[in-house]
Structure 1
Amino acid sequence: MKRGKGMKFVGDSRINAESTSTVPKDYSEYPGRTEAFWPNFLLKEWLAGSVFLVGFLTLVLTHPSPLEGMADPTTAGYIPLPDWYFLFLYELLKYKYASQDFILLGVIVIPGLAFGALLLAPFLDNGPERRPNKRPIATSLMLLALVATIWLTYDSAGAVDWEARAEANKPIPASEVEIDTSDPGYAVYENSCMSCHGDDLTNGAAGPPLIGIEHTTEEIADISVNGIGDMPADVFQGTDEELQQLAEFITSVNEQAGE
């Protein structure tokens, strides 16, 4: 073979003779399209992260997350809700074709297709362009997911009175009052009231706590039979003697708590 342009020297048989250098070019050879990782890119990422962190901490300090009471499996009237970042999936199950007979669509198929599309987006549209208008598939999938998530979350959150819910389910400190379980009124309370007001009168699961109320014995007896507010009538089913024992027991507990 003649010397010259056509001659190629390969020192290792595993290297293609047509391969180019594996050393990347300097970023300065691509003006306007890239920048140095340190310190330019890293500094901008750090600044953006700091702004988000400061804003998030400010939101937490000014609007603390409402806490609820201890979980009580005996509460039949409590309506559980997921955390805010799962509300859009919760709202999805309220639609006709994502619930009841179509529950598998709402629980598995629709979320699976949505998250699967986002997962496959980089592989379906893997061009070198970084501008959104030059990447229609990835941009469309992301915008669709963003709009759907925001709308479903907003629609679900708007239907809940969060302040009232937090007030009704706020934690109640443990009672320092010793409950006399040998009191005959406690047995009546156990059969008629414990499921709603808790075993120590402070749990307030489906009903409010009974410690700290300002009612007389007669008023408590009347409420037990005729109800008040959200408490329906005829909850208590017993004799007049048992009703008197119940009212006196609740009154004695409140007197002890006020000492």
Structure 2
Amino acid sequence: MHRGKGMKFVGDSRIPAKKMSNIPKDYSEYPGKTEAFWPNFLLKEWLVGAVFLIGFLTLTVVAPSPLEKMADPTDASYIPLPDWYFLFLYQFLKYEFASGPYSVLGAFIIPGLAFGGLLLAPFLDKGPGRRPHQRPIANAFMLIGVACTIFLTWEAGSHVDWEARAKSGQIVEEVEIDTSAAGYEIYKQNCASCHGAELGGGAGPALVGTELSVDEIKDITVNGLGSMPAVMKGKPEEEIQQLAEFVKNPSGGEEGSE
């Protein structure tokens, strides 16, 4: 500061002459590169989400998920199987190092490490590039994970008897059983252990609504069929007839014998 005609001030260059607040630039200063979050961006997100939601709901109406019969803990013939998106874990638990005494390792530890490793992806490759060849580490982990999932899913599916699986969970028509019918006790003693007390199936197929004739049923019970033994071989003809008529029409006794 000098005396005389006036005063002169020397300012510190570290202090800006015009105080600026810490507010980012408005989106309008970047034409073509950004847009307002509300309502422009959020409205687009909602529209896209609504399209996928309506499509998904339409799919559930047109092709509903197949249902199975009610769970029966006494049905030893049922083939338990997870949904397709968990088949790779189902197959993984079949290997010796992930089953038996090592089931905890296969069910929790290894899958936990694999999925938890996804959290490390952002820290393993911090490069600014977005092209595949610019991010080799992240893409390598992704390809390995996808390949393992596809392989295990394929292995699980190739070892499943899908026809038997469908039959084991098939919903069968419930019918009123005539316990006073002459063939009921014969059926309970010779057939119920495989075909179920309500004829709904078990180790053997369901017999409710069978298309076999009485004569065909008699022939099978006497001579057997496939893995089914000849349960009525050597039994009195009257009992064989009564059993066949009951199987043909369990709710009506003698009816349906034609």
TM-score, structure 1 normalization: 0.69
Of the structure 1 ranges 79-88 and 241-250, higher mean CA displacement relative to structure 2 is found in 241-250
Could you tell me how far 1:82 is from its partner in structure 2?
Answer: 0.4
Does residue 227 of structure 1 match 2:234?
Answer: no
Residue 77 of structure 1, CA deviation: 2.2
Report the equivalent of 1:195: 193
Corresponding residue number in structure 1 for 2:208:
211
**Are 1:132 and 1:139, in contact at CA under 8 Å, matched by a contact in 2?**
no
2:220 counterpart letter in structure 1: I
- Give the C-alpha shift of residue 239 in structure 1: 5.0
**Is 1:112 the counterpart of 2:112 in the alignment?**
yes
One-letter identity of the residue aligned with 1:24 = P
CA separation of 1:254 and 1:182: change in aligned 2, threshold 3 A: closer
For 1:73, the equivalent position in structure 2 comes to 73
Q: Which runs of 5+ in 1 are unaligned?
A: 9-19
How far 1:210 moved relative to its partner? 2.1
Aligned to 1:12: none
Measure how far apart 1:154 and its partner are: 4.0
Match of 2:121 in 1: 121
Alignment partner, residue 11 of structure 1: none
1:5 aligns with 2:12: yes
- Letter of the 1:81 partner, please give it: L
1:207 partner amino acid: G
1:117, distance to aligned residue in structure 2 (A): 0.6
**1:150, CA displacement in angstroms?**
3.6
CA shift digits 1:192-220 (9 cap, x unpaired) = 3223322222x223333323334455543
1:4-46 CA distance string (max 9 Å, x none): 32787xxxxxxxxxxx955333345567765432344334434
> Is the contact made by 1:75 and 1:195 (CA closer than 8 Å) also made in structure 2?
no
Q: Secondary structure at the match of 2:73?
A: coil
Q: Deviations over 1:101-132 (max 9, x none)?
A: 6544322232111111113434x348484726
Q: Shift in Å at residue 249 of structure 1?
A: 3.2
SS in 1 for 2:250: helix
Mapped contact 1:88–1:152 kept (Cα < 8 A): yes
Structure-2-length-normalised TM-score? 0.69
Q: Deviations over 1:37-88 (max 9, x none)?
A: 2344334434543454455445445544322222222222221110122112
How many equivalent residue pairs? Answer: 243
Query: Structure 1 residues 141, 38: closer, same or farther in 2, change over 3 A?
Result: farther
Q: What's the RMSD between the two structures over aligned residues?
A: 4.1
CA contact (8 A) 1:125 1:135 kept: no
From 170, 178, 181, the counterpart of 2:179: 181
Q: Match for 2:183: what amino acid? A: G
How many Å separate the matches in 2 of 1:152 and 1:194? 38
Larger radius of gyration: 2
CA distance in 1 between partners of 2:129 and 2:34 (Å): 11
**Residue type of the partner of 2:201?**
G
Distance 1:21 1:27 in 2: 17
